[in-house]
A = this chain, B = another copy of it.
Amino acid sequence: MHQYLMPMTSDAPTTAVAALDIGGTKMAACVATASGPLLRVVQSTLTSGTPDTIARQGLRLIDECCQQLQIDPAVVQSVGVSSCGPFELRDGAIGIIPPNLCGGLPNRDDLPNDWTFLPLESVLRKRFSPVGSVRIANDCVAALHGERAFGTAPANSIYVTWSTGIGFGLCVDGHILNGKAGNAGHAGHMLLSETSDALCGCGNRGDLEGMIGGRNVGKHLGKPLEVIFRDAQGGDAAALDVVKDAARWFGRALYNLTTILDTEAIFIGGSVWRHNEALLAPLVQREIDDRFPALTRDVTVQSTTLGELVTDLGAFSLVMPADWIADWRAQRPWETLRSVPLAETR
């Protein structure tokens, strides 16, 4: 097995980079050299301990990658991070305050911690100290960096993930937007309906994520989402109504962003979209095409070209040398990357 995972053992790398993907339920670490990503390890995100637990778990996963690859951890000289948010700056360093990890936030008594802020940058900088060796972006912002680096996203483009949450990365005039604290792209919290009482985790009623985030689509039908989509595919009227309604709200949000940003291409990922693209795509495209031709003409909507690794690749692209990016674009070495699950106790 190690043979497979270590194509470079005979010629040990002198420079490597790491990618961390920090999600509310899973965390992944990858290590890569110029020739491509070598290994990806995945573990459930920890939810107890001190607030620096998350960042330290990330560092441990990078070390775990190195150990499995028999690479000296010292050759890993930088780390790109794609993380759930929202972000908050404290003393100029990025941390996160995700409602699904922080038990100290209002209404999260169900979590086994009293966290209100999770430091990332300050912890990672103790290990990766040169300027530019730690770069952190919101997960969907990172994904758009990935689409720009390795995919086909043009200068005015949007990445959106539609899964439990709905998040966006926004690129205008070739510049991927960060905002005052790195939170640009929280467009899932855009208010769209004044009548919906669907409650979002952020406290809004009637925002995009509250209405059609993975947990909320067709809630009144009392069925798992995959069953609703299967029923819709089979022609069940109630299920089809739910799907059409969800696609309509999603399309309206994409129209809004197109008119706000003068976008030319939209790339979509996330489990809700991925499993139901054939059903959703024409409904979503129509919601955009039907409006304000001067702004929507020729706007394209398509799935991410990088699949489920889009955020990992985005995290890599934050810290990779430009010549590596050019090589990876040509070789697409991530297509053979293996993911290894780790037990929680490690």
Report the separation of the CA atoms of residues A21 and B156 in the bound assembly, to the nearest whole angstrom: 27
Query: CB distance A262 to B181 under 8 Å?
Result: yes
Asked if B260 contacts A260 (CB within 8 A), the reply is yes
Within A183-221, the residues touching B (CB, 8 Å) are 183-187, 189-195, 202-204
Tell me if A183 and B295 are in contact (CB < 8 A): yes
Considering the complex, give the chain B residue whose CB is closest to the CB of A96.
B294
Interface bits A267-308 vs B (CB < 8 Å: 1, else 0): 000000000000000000000000110110000000000000
A183 and B252 form a contact (CB under 8 A): no
A86 at the interface (CB under 8 A from B): yes
Chain A 146-185 near chain B by CB (<8 Å), digits 1 or 0: 0000000001100000000000101011010111111111
B residues in contact with A178, CB < 8 Å: 172-173, 262
Residue of B nearest to A97 (CB): B294
Candidates B180, B202, B204; contact of A264 at CB < 8 Å: B180
A172 touches B183 (CB 8 A): no
- What is the oligomeric copy number? 2
- Give A316 Cβ to nearest chain B Cβ, in Å: 22
CB–CB A294/B183 < 8 A: yes
Q: Which residues of B contact A204 (CB under 8 A)?
A: 291-292
Bound CA span A189–B258, Å: 10
- CB within 8 Å for A191 and B256 given contacts A156-B180, A203-B292: yes
Residues of chain B lying within 8 A (CB to CB) of residue A203: 291-292
Cα of A88 to Cα of B296 in the assembled complex, Å: 12
On A, residues with C-beta under 8 Å from B are 85-86, 88, 97, 155-156, 168, 170, 172-173, 175, 177-187, 189-195, 202-204, 252, 255-257, 259-264, 291-292, 294-295
Q: List 11 A-B contacts (CB under 8 A).
A: A85-B294, A172-B172, A173-B179, A177-B262, A179-B262, A180-B264, A183-B295, A187-B260, A189-B291, A190-B259, A202-B291
